[in-house]
Amino acid sequence: MEREMRVRPGTPDDDNREYLPEKIKNSDIVVNENGNNSQPYPERLKEYREVLADGVEDIWYEYVPEGYDPSKKTPLIVSMHGGLMTGWGQAIYTSWTMVADRDNVIIVFPNAHSRRLWTLEATEEEIEANVNGPEELRMNYAKPDREDNHDIAFVLALIDKIKSKYNIDEERIFMQGMSNGSMFTTQFEKYYGNILAGGSGAGGSIVNLKLFYDKDWNVINKAGALPVWETKPEKNGLPPWCEYSEAITYKYSRLYWMKVNGCVTDPEISIIGEDNMAFYKGEKADMVYTDIKNRDHGNAFDEAVLVWDYLFSGYRRKADGTLVDMGSRIPRKGDAFNIAVADGCKKALFCNRKTEMKANAIKWQKLKYHGLNGGTKVRGEYICVPLSFLAEAFGAAFESSDHGRDVTLTWENGKTAQFAEGSIGCVLNNDMRSMYCEALYREGELCVSIEWFARFIMNKTVSVCNGVVYVTDHFAELGQFMADLIRDMLNDDPGIVPLD
């Protein structure tokens, strides 16, 4: 039975410039920036210190909700902090404790054992460069032989410790990490994902692709399929030592889990506010790929709730290793109404199904040039698509004349809109209205700005990013990584590029 979820008031520290101010611990101070937003220190968060592995004393934090019932099996989430942070820092910079309170889940927040950095596997070349590089950029590295990695041994021992201490549902153990903790989580999933029912990473990625792909770019994975949620904030960035660009790194990080989980069909897209979600159905396990519009590196404060509600809440891993989806708290379904088009693409997305337009989408600029002595100024840039497609998508009868250069749309309620090649005017219900740009005639089709048409005539929400337009019936902000994903979908191409 769910309990009430509430946020607690805190005292803002708006002048703070520290990554993790120590004065927050055991206080009601909250910090807010574009990517790191905190809650008052939870009263039920308890610190523990003990030797669990390799003779090393480790620290972790446990959050046990008030509604915990020792007679009932309880899910467990292990949440890994970002670099230079702590377990208690991860607790306050996320909403996992609120998930725990509402849904009776136990959350554990471990500390990395050295320098507040999780130990990551690395190549010999990386280890050598790391030792000889600037101290402020040094990571904690170990050879891919995971026996050499204390943090993995600690986390495995910690899971066993928590199982012995509480009535943990062994079918419902999950891991989530942020940044350096996300990298560690992905590494853990690669080797030990078979003991988890799901994994999630925020603001991190597979930064060293060559440890997750072989020389022929086949995936390297020891543990098998795992339901996975990956979040890439739009303004996330990558560590300076990454070999490939952000777009390529994130694309191959997404492709990795698509291959491991057998995600061979297009995802359903849902964009709610700034949260851009692609729901993949896998033959072995599902995957959610998320882009957060205009968000910097960090945990989005609502991300824990989203991960739980859309993914973790439904999955179980049975004793024989079988993954079972019992149905998540919120179904992983795309937006009921959506349209997506990309400049240069003939295919479009309509209600999460691909369809083919009769002409390519065209990027068109509205120009100012008179009185500029031959120069021009761009006053607007729009994506124009065939009116035949817009008529079908928005339920209008389509009528054309003059070889398609003159088009009239008529709706069942009697509303009409008439367009003509070269004119910026639209005759709407026998009144004249200016569009964003003139109507274009291409490939025998009259095309107009989808941004103007969807907003002005159909009263829909429109978001544009990198030449991709997303239309839906609620507030939605398209992010650049989701725009890349949609363009790949419309091109029937996963976007694989040759890597050296």
Average pLDDT estimate for 79-92: 96
Average pLDDT estimate for 184-207: 93
CB atoms < 10 A from the CB of 496, how many? 12
Average pLDDT estimate for 435-456: 98
Q: How confident is the model at residue 468 (pLDDT cuts 50, 70, 90)?
A: very high
Element (H, E) at 491: none
**Would you call 48 helix, strand, or coil by DSSP?**
strand
CA 133/CA 112 separation, integer angstroms? 21
- Whether the per-residue pLDDT at 202 is higher than 90: the answer is yes
pLDDT of residue 377: 92
CA 166/CA 128 separation, integer angstroms? 42
The CB-based long-range contact list for 468-472 (8 Å cut-off, 24+ gap) reads 468/340, 468/341, 468/342, 468/343, 469/339, 469/340, 469/341, 469/342, 469/383, 470/269, 470/271, 470/338, 470/339, 470/340, 471/338, 471/339, 471/340, 472/271, 472/335, 472/337, 472/338, 472/339
pLDDT of residue 228: 98
Q: Which two tokens stand for residue 9?
A: 């008031």
Average pLDDT estimate for 328-349: 98
The CB-based long-range contact list for 463-468 (8 Å cut-off, 24+ gap) reads 463/271, 464/383, 467/342, 467/343, 467/344, 467/363, 467/383, 468/340, 468/341, 468/342, 468/343
pLDDT of residue 137: 67
Q: How confident is the model at residue 494 (pLDDT cuts 50, 70, 90)?
A: low
DSSP 286-312: -EEEEEEEEEESS--TTHHHHHHHHTG
The answer to whether residues 132 and 91 touch, using CB atoms and an 8 Å cutoff, is: no
Range from 24-28, 137-141, 494-498 carrying the lowest mean pLDDT: 494-498
Average pLDDT estimate for 298-322: 96
CB atoms < 10 A from the CB of 252, how many? 22
- Helix, strand, coil distribution of the chain in percent, nearest 5: 25, 35, 40
Q: What is the pLDDT of residues 169-178, one digit of tens each?
A: 999 999 999 9
pLDDT of residue 386: 98
Average pLDDT estimate for 333-351: 98
Q: What is the pLDDT of residues 21-38, one digit of tens each?
A: 889 999 999 999 888 899
User: What is the pTM assigned to this prediction?
Assistant: 0.95
Exposure of 238 by Cβ count < 10 A (0-12 exposed, 13-18 middle, 19+ buried)? middle
DSSP class of 248: H
% of residues, the chain, pLDDT over 70: 98
Element (H, E) at 13: none
pLDDT of residue 496: 62
pLDDT of residue 136: 64
Q: What is the pLDDT of residues 397-430, one digit of tens each?
A: 999 999 999 999 999 999 999 999 999 999 999 9
How far is the CA of 352 from the CAs of 284, 390, 395, in angstroms?
A: 22, 16, 17
- Whether the per-residue pLDDT at 156 is higher than 70: the answer is yes
The closest of 460, 465, 458, 436 to 448, measured between CA atoms, is 436
Mean confidence (pLDDT) of the chain: 93
pLDDT of residue 205: 76
pLDDT of residue 6: 93
Q: How confident is the model at residue 350 (pLDDT cuts 50, 70, 90)?
A: very high
- Whether the per-residue pLDDT at 16 is higher than 90: the answer is no
pLDDT of residue 270: 98
pLDDT of residue 497: 62
pLDDT of residue 204: 82
pLDDT of residue 495: 58
CB atoms < 10 A from the CB of 237, how many? 11
The answer to whether residues 200 and 307 touch, using CB atoms and an 8 Å cutoff, is: yes
